[in-house]
Structure 1
Amino acid sequence: MTTPASPPAPRPTPPPAPVPAAPRSPAHVSLADRAAGVLVGAAVGDALGGPVEGWTPEAIAARHGGRVKGIVGPFHGEDWRTARPLAPYHKGDGHVTDDTLMTHALVRVYEKVRDHLDAYSVAEHLVPDLITTPRWIPELEAEALPLQRIFLAEKWIVARIHYGHVDPREAGAGNIVNCGAAMYMAPVGVVNAGNPAGAYAEALDIAGAHQSSYGREAAGVLAAAVAAACTPGATAESVVAEALALAKDGTRAAIEAVCETARRYQDFEDALGPLREAVAPFDTVGPDYRNPSLGARRPSRLHAIEELPVALGMLLVGGGDYRRTVLGSVNYGRDCDSIATMSGALVGALHGEAAVPGEWSREVARASRLDLTGPARRLAAVARGVHARDVRRRRHHEAVFHALAES
C-alpha cells in the first residue's frame, strides 16, 4: 500500500504593500500660517462642495462626466435662479456658502471680544452682525444682510435670542440638530491652538446658543480637532485620536466606526460607499438626503451628525493631503459643502496655507469677492493675545493656590 503524498506546503502569504507614511504637521509652520490654512482651506472646500451639495456620488458623476476635480458650475447650469431645490442660490463657480459666511462672522466676534467666547458672545456680537450689517453674499450676487442667506437652523439664533430673549446658554434647545454649529467652529480651534480640551469646552459654550445634543457635541469635537491639527508634529491619525478622546455618546461611536473603515482605503473613490455605510447607523436623516426621515435631526445620545465623522474619515483616506481629502469630501455628496469645509480646515491646520492649491484659493477669493487671508491674520493676532491673557490668569491662579496650600 502506497503512502499518499503529503499535501503541498501552503505558499507563504506575501506581506501587504507598505502604506505610505502620512505627512506630519511640520514644526516650522507658524500660527498665522496655520490660521490661514484653516480659513482658506475651509472656504475652498465650501466652494468646491456647494454646487453638488445634496446629491449622491452617482448623480454627481453623471452630471459632471466623472468625479468633481475642482471648481465647477451650478448643478442646473444657467437655470440656477429657478431650478429647485437650490433656487435662488448661485452655488458653484467658486462661490462660498453660509458655512464660510458664518465662519467669518465668528472671526469678527473674536476681533471684538479679543478673548475666549461663550454663548453670551453670540447674543451680544454674532446676532447683531447677522442682522445689522449688509455684506456681499456670493450666492445671491448682491449685498444683503447675512440673515437673508443663512439657513433656518442659523436663523433660529436670531429668533430665539433677539426676538425671544431666551437665555443664550439655552437658546439652542429645540432647534433642529444638524451640523449648523459645527460648520463654523474652526476659529475656536485656532484660538485654542494646541489645546484640544480648551477648544472643546469653549465651542460647547458658544454652540449652546445655537444647537443641542449631538449638533452641539460635534461643534466641540470639530474645534478640538482643529486645535489638535495645529500642534507641530500632528498627523491625521493624531487628530482623530484627540477627537475620540473628547467625543461623547453617538458622536464618538460614529467617528470610531467611520475612521475604522477609512483606514482600509487610500483612494476616496473606493471609500465613498463604505464610509456612507459606516455612518448610516448614526445618521438620522436617512438614505434620501432631500427627504429626511420623520426621526431626523432630533436630540439623541445614540446618534451623530454625518458631516464630522465623514470629514475625519476623509482626512485619513487622503492622508492629510488637501486635494485627496477635500475632493473625497466633495464627491461624497449629501451635505458635502460642510464636510469639505471641515476637512479642508483640518488639512489647513496641519500644513498651513500652502497645502491649499493656489489656483483654487485665488479663484474662490475672486469669485466670492472675499478676503480669505486678512481674517486669518487677525484671528492669529487674537489667538496670541488670548494666550498671553491665559498665561497671566494661570500664573495668578497658581500664586493664589500656592498661598492657600501653604497656609
Structure 2
Amino acid sequence: MTPKGSQTAGLEDRVTGALVGAAVADALGGPVEGYSPTQILERHGGRVHGIVGPWNGDEWRTARPLAPYHKGDGHVTDDTLMTHALVRVYAAVRDHLDAYAIADHLVPDLMTNPRWIPELEAEALPLHRVFLAEKWLVTRLHYAHADPREAGVGNIVNCGAAMYMAPVGLVNAAGPRAAYAEALDIAGAHQSSYGREAAAVFAAAVSAACVPGADPDSVVSAALALAKDGTRTAIERVCEVACQYTDFESALVPLREAVAPYDTVGPDYRAPSLGARRPSRVHAIEELPVALGMLLVSGGDYREAVLGSVNYGRDCDSTATMAGALAGALGSPVPDEWSKAVSEASRLDLWEPARTLTEVAREVFERDVRRRRAHEAAFARLGGDGCSD
C-alpha cells in the first residue's frame, strides 16, 4: 500500500517529514526505553499512544544514577541531538560528507558549543549527554588522532551511528546506492561491523522512501538490495514475519522472536549477554530490522509505525526514530499535536533543521549534476561513449 502523500510530496515535505518525524518518535520512545512490551503495558495500564511522563515519575533524577535524564514529557534524546548535529555539519560543508567531516566538524560541535539539552533541563555541551558510544568519537578523533576512516574500530557495535543517519539519506534523496556509500564512509568514524552497515542501510532506506510512489515494500527492497551479511538476513527474516500482520499489537512478540537470533544484546536489555556489541558478520543491530518491520505492519502510516516501535520496548527511542524518519520520508503526516508538543517541551525548532537540509540537498544535487556532466564529457572524449573518430 502506497502511503498518502508518497506521490505528491516534494523534497521539502519529505525532508521535513523525516526529520520532524524522527524527533517526535524519539521523544515518544524515550520514557519507555529499556523495557519490554509487558512491562510497558503494566506501567502505563495499556499501550503508549502518545507523549507520556518519566518511567519513575518525579524520581527520574535519582532512579538510574548512571543515566539521570528526564526522559518523557516530550523531551527528545541523544538520537535527535546527534541528528541535528549532523545537519549542522552538512550546513557547514554544503556538499557530500566523509569521515573527515565528522572529525573536522561534528566532534568540535559536540565539544565546544553548549546547547539546550532537554533531558538535562539545562544548557550544556552535547558531549555531556550523548552515550558512551558517541563519546568515543571525541576520544578517538580529538584525543587519539585516529584515522577518521578507521576510528570506529574498537567501539561497541550498536545503533549509535545508525540512529542519526537520516540526513544522509535525505541529501541523497531518491538515490539509495549513493546514500549507502556516503553513510558507510561517515559511519567509519563512529562504528565498525554491523553497526556501520546498519547506518549505511538506514540511510539508503530513507533515500528510497523519498522516491515518488515509494511504499514500505519498495523501501525494504532497496534496503535488501544493499545490505550485507547478518544485517541483510535479519531484515529479511523480520520483514517476512511483519508481512503477516496489520496491527502492531499482534506483531510485537513475533517481530522480537524473528530478530532475536541476530541480536547480540540478548533477552535482558539492561543486562547484555557476554557476546553483546561485538563485531560479527552474522549478527545485526535490532533497531533497524524492527523499524522496517513496523513500517510494513503499519502500511507506512506514521502514527502506527511509531507507536508500534515505541511499544516494542528495548531500544525503542532509536527504533522509533528510524521508523518515524522512514514513514515521514514516505509522506505520511506527523500528527501536529505531537510535533508541537515535542518542540515546545524540548525547546527546539524541529522545522529549522529541515529547512536547512533541504537547501543543502538542492545545492549538492546541482553540484553533482555539474560533476556528472563534466565526467560524461571527459569520458566521451576518451571514446568511451562507443563513438570512434
State the shift of 1:25 in Å: 4.9
State the shift of 1:87 in Å: 3.9
Matched letter for residue 349 of structure 1: A
Counterpart of 2:6 in structure 1 is 26
* Equivalent residues of 1:197, 1:246 under 8 A apart: yes
- Is 1:341–2:293 an aligned residue pair? no
* Equivalent residues of 1:25, 1:235 under 8 A apart: no
State the shift of 1:123 in Å: 0.4
Matches within 5 A, 1:166-315: 166-315=146-295
Equivalent residue for 1:136, pick from 108, 116, 121: 116
State the shift of 1:344 in Å: 0.1
Equivalent residue for 2:143, pick from 159, 163, 167: 163
* Equivalent residues of 1:25, 1:234 under 8 A apart: no
Matched letter for residue 388 of structure 1: E
Q: CA deviation digits over 1:239-270, x for unaligned, max 9? A: 00000000000000000000000000001000
State the shift of 1:30 in Å: 1.3
Equivalent residue for 2:34, pick from 54, 78, 95: 54
Matches within 5 A, 1:6-17: none
CA distance in 1, matches of 2:186, 2:86: 10
Equivalent residue for 1:364, pick from 342, 352, 365: 342
CA distance in 2, matches of 1:85, 1:237: 42
State the shift of 1:323 in Å: 1.1
CA distance in 1, matches of 2:145, 2:352: 34
* Equivalent residues of 2:264, 2:277 under 8 A apart: yes
* Equivalent residues of 1:134, 1:145 under 8 A apart: yes
CA distance in 2, matches of 1:222, 1:28: 23
Matched letter for residue 364 of structure 1: V
Counterpart of 1:396 in structure 2 is 374
CA distance in 2, matches of 1:81, 1:95: 14
* Equivalent residues of 1:348, 1:356 under 8 A apart: yes
* Equivalent residues of 1:307, 1:335 under 8 A apart: yes
Q: State which drifts further: 199-208 or 83-92.
A: 83-92
CA distance in 2, matches of 1:85, 1:225: 36
CA distance in 1, matches of 2:293, 2:6: 22
Counterpart of 2:126 in structure 1 is 146
Matches within 5 A, 1:375-390: 375-390=353-368
* Equivalent residues of 2:87, 2:167 under 8 A apart: yes
CA distance in 2, matches of 1:72, 1:211: 32
Counterpart of 2:55 in structure 1 is 75
Matched letter for residue 192 of structure 1: N
Q: CA deviation digits over 1:271-297, x for unaligned, max 9? A: 000000000000000000000000100
Larger radius of gyration: 1
State the shift of 1:26 in Å: 2.8
CA distance in 2, matches of 1:250, 1:87: 31
Counterpart of 1:15 in structure 2 is none
CA distance in 1, matches of 2:235, 2:179: 18
Secondary structure at the residue paired with 1:136?
strand
* Equivalent residues of 2:2, 2:214 under 8 A apart: no
- Is 1:104–2:84 an aligned residue pair? yes
- Is 1:127–2:130 an aligned residue pair? no
Q: CA deviation digits over 1:138-189, x for unaligned, max 9? A: 0000000000000000000100000000000000000000000000000000
Secondary structure at the residue paired with 1:168?
coil
State the shift of 1:27 in Å: 2.6
Matched letter for residue 52 of structure 2: V
Q: What TM-score, normalized to structure 1?
A: 0.93
CA distance in 1, matches of 2:128, 2:266: 28
* Equivalent residues of 2:2, 2:213 under 8 A apart: no
Q: CA deviation digits over 1:278-334, x for unaligned, max 9? A: 000000000000000001000000000000000000000011011111000000000
Q: How many residues align?
A: 385
Q: State which drifts further: 28-37 or 172-181.
A: 28-37
Counterpart of 1:350 in structure 2 is 330
Unaligned runs of 5+ in 2: none
Secondary structure at the residue paired with 1:223?
helix
* Equivalent residues of 1:47, 1:96 under 8 A apart: yes
Unaligned runs of 5+ in 1: 1-20
Taking only aligned residues, the RMSD between alpha carbons, in angstroms, comes to: 1.0
Matched letter for residue 352 of structure 2: G
1:53/1:28 Cα in 2 relative to 1: closer, same or farther (>3 Å)?
A: same
